[in-house]
C-alpha cells in the first residue's frame, strides 16, 4: 500500500497501475525506463489497492495523475467509475486503460479504453495459420478473457471460454476431451495460475493431448516460462508468454494518454 501515498510533486505528470496484487508487474519499470530515456517529466507508480472502492482516494491524493492502467481483478469493476467508455472497450466489456480529464475548475472525468485486445491480437496474429488455427480455447472468464475473445474474433478465430464454473456457452475443465483439444489448436491462458510467486500452478488441461500444431499462449510474463508453457512445450506445442502483448498494449496506453 506504500505506493498509494507516492509524493508526485516533482513530476509534471503521474501515471500508474491499479490492481491487486501487483508484485508480478513489469509495467512500472517499463514506463519509468521510457520516461528516463526520453527525458519525459513523468513517473509511473503501482497502486496496489485491495478493493476498487479505494480508487477515488488514490485519485484525490495524486493531483498529477493523468491516467492509469487496470489489471486483475478490476478490469470489469472499473467500468462503474467511468464517465465515458470507448466503443471497442464497451463491446469487449472490460477496460485496462483510463484517461483522466482534469478541468480548470477542479472537476474530473474518466474515460476507459481497452488496449489488451490490440496488444494480444497484434502479438498472436503472425503465429496463426489459416485452416489450422481457426478455433481457440480461452482459459479464464475475466476481463482479459473478454479482450482475447474479441481479438480472436477479429482475426477470424472462433473461441470458447473454459472456466471452473459451469454456465451456458462455457466449458468446464472436466469437459476438455481429447476431441475438443484436437479441434481447438489455439489455447490461451488468461488466468493468474502460474504467476509469480505461485510458479508451480497451471490450468488443469489434458496437456498430453497437445500436438505440434497447437499454439499455447500465456498472458502471464513473470516467470518467463510458466508451468503451462513448459508442459505444453514438452508435448510439442508452440508456446509464447505475454511480454510482447504487455509492451504492445503499453504503447497503445501511452498514445491514449497523450492524444
Neighbours of 90 (CB within 10 A): 16
d(C-alpha 71, C-alpha 204), whole Å = 23
Alpha helices (H) in the chain, listed in sequence order: 27-37, 55-60, 87-92, 116-124, 143-154, 178-183, 227-234, 243-258
Question: What are the catalytic residues?
Answer: 75
Q: How far from chain centre, in Å, is Cα 60?
A: 25
Amino acid at each position: 500500500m506504500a505506493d498509494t501515498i507516492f509524493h508526485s510533486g516533482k513530476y509534471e505528470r503521474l501515471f500508474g497501475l491499479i490492481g491487486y496484487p501487483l508484485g508480478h508487474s513489469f509495467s512500472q519499470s517499463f514506463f519509468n525506463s521510457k520516461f528516463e530515456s526520453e527525458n519525459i517529466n513523468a513517473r509511473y507508480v503501482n497502486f496496489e489497492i485491495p478493493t476498487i472502492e479505494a480508487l477515488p482516494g488514490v485519485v484525490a491524493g495524486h493531483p498529477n495523475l493523468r491516467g492509469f492502467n487496470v489489471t486483475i481483478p478490476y478490469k470489469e469493476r472499473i467500468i462503474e467509475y467511468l464517465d465515458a467508455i470507448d466503443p471497442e472497450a464497451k463491446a469487449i466489456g472490460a477496460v485496462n486503460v483510463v484517461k483522466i480529464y482534469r478541468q480548470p475548475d477542479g472537476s474530473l472525468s474518466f474515460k476507459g479504453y481497452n488496449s489488451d485486445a490490440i496488444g494480444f491480437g497484434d502479438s498472436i496474429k503472425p503465429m496463426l495459420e489459416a485452416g489450422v488455427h481457426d478455433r481457440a480455447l480461452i482459459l479464464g472468464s475475466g476481463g482479459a478473457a473478454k479482450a482475447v475473445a474479441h481479438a480472436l474474433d477479429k482475426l477470424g478465430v472462433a473461441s470458447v471460454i473454459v472456466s471452473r464454473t459451469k454456465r451456458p456457452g462455457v466449458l468446464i475443465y472436466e469437459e476438455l476431451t481429447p476431441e475438443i483439444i484436437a479441434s481447438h489448436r489455439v489455447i490461451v491462458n488468461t488466468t493468474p495460475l502460474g504467476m509469480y510467486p505461485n510458479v508451480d500452478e497451471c490450468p488443469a488441461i489434458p496437456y498430453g493431448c497437445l500436438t505440434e500444431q497447437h499454439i499455447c499462449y500465456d498472458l502471464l510474463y513473470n516467470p518467463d516460462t510458466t508451468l503451462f508453457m513448459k508442459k505444453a512445450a514438452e508435448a510439442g506445442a508452440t508456446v509464447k508468454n505475454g511480454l510482447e502483448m504487455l509492451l504492445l498494449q503499453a504503447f497503445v496506453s501511452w498514445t491514449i494518454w497523450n492524444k
